[in-house]
Amino acid sequence: GDSVTQMEGPVTLSEEAFLTINCTYTATGYPSLFWYVQYPGEGLQLLLKATKADDKGSNKGFEATYRKETTSFHLEKGSVQVSDSAVYFCALTGGGNKLTFGTGTQLKVEL
Amino acid sequence: DADVTQTPRNRITKTGKRIMLECSQTKGHDRMYWYRQDPGLGLRLIYYSFDVKDINKGEISDGYSVSRQAQAKFSLSLESAIPNQTALYFCATSDLGQGSRETQYFGPGTRLLVL
């Protein structure tokens, strides 16, 4: 079945540092890929998505590129802020259009 | 106003009690979902509904039931709550538009503690 693997956290960075959160997937067919973000005490919000190979999703300074050859969708941001502290979930929709989530990566950004 | 609302936001109950978690949406979406979130496990799908007459089990449906009362309402019930159902529960909606792939929109969550 479909699965998503993302790096374990917590990831702790200083403000303005470069962020990478790795995500790899296993799926049949051609899934769509997503990054969701969960701020403390809130539900999940869609951060960005990509629907086909080589697409780049971007939002709020975050980017991720759909790499079919490496089955990856790594999340990057050039300069993180304290307000980016949250839990980040990589996810995919494959057959049946149901979301499969990774386990989440907590990001802590310190001054 | 929020597009996807959940009530209650927090609930404490005792083992063996029946409880219902409610979800309402104003997005006009046909598809609705219930997930639970546990530390280190991400989100797991409990039940989903693609329209009012369609109910499907997810990966962890045992011990849960659902009711789709209307397009906008989707309720999750725990018939006899047990402590390992202590978790954060999320409702979500989606609308599979033509030419697009599914994006789900989440409610704020219900934190449930079963003693």
| pLDDT, tens digit, 9 for 90 and up, residues A62-74 | 999 999 999 999 9
CB contact under 8 A, B101 and A101: no
Shortest distance between the Cα of B81 and any Cα of chain A, in A, equals 23
pLDDT at A81 over 80: yes
- Average confidence (pLDDT) over B69-85: 96
Structure tokens at B64: 């849960």
Phi, psi dihedral angles at B83 (to 5 degrees): -55, -35
Mutate to test the interface with A, among B10, B21, B43 (most CBs of A within 10 A): B43
- For residues A77 and A64, the answer to whether their CB atoms sit within 8 Å is no
Structure tokens at A52: 């086909």
Query: Which residues touch B39 (CB under 8 Å, ≥6 apart)?
Result: none
CA dihedral (B22, B26, B30, B31) positive or negative? negative
Mutate to test the interface with B, among A97, A100, A106 (most CBs of B within 10 A): A97
Candidate from A45, A49, A104 with C-beta closest to B42: A104
Distance CA A68, CA A92 (A): 13
CA dihedral (A7, A11, A14, A15) positive or negative? positive
Grade residue B40 by pLDDT with cuts at 50, 70 and 90. Answer: confident
Each residue of A84-107: pLDDT tens digit?
999 999 999 876 667 889 999 999
Nearest to A49 by CA among A17, A95, A89, A21: A89
pLDDT at residue number B97: 59
Structure tokens at A109: 């950004």
Contacts of A89 in chain B (CB under 8 A): 42-43
Mean residue pLDDT across chain A: 92
Mean residue pLDDT across chain B: 91
CA atoms within 13 A on the CB side of B32: 32
CB contact under 8 A, B101 and A102: no
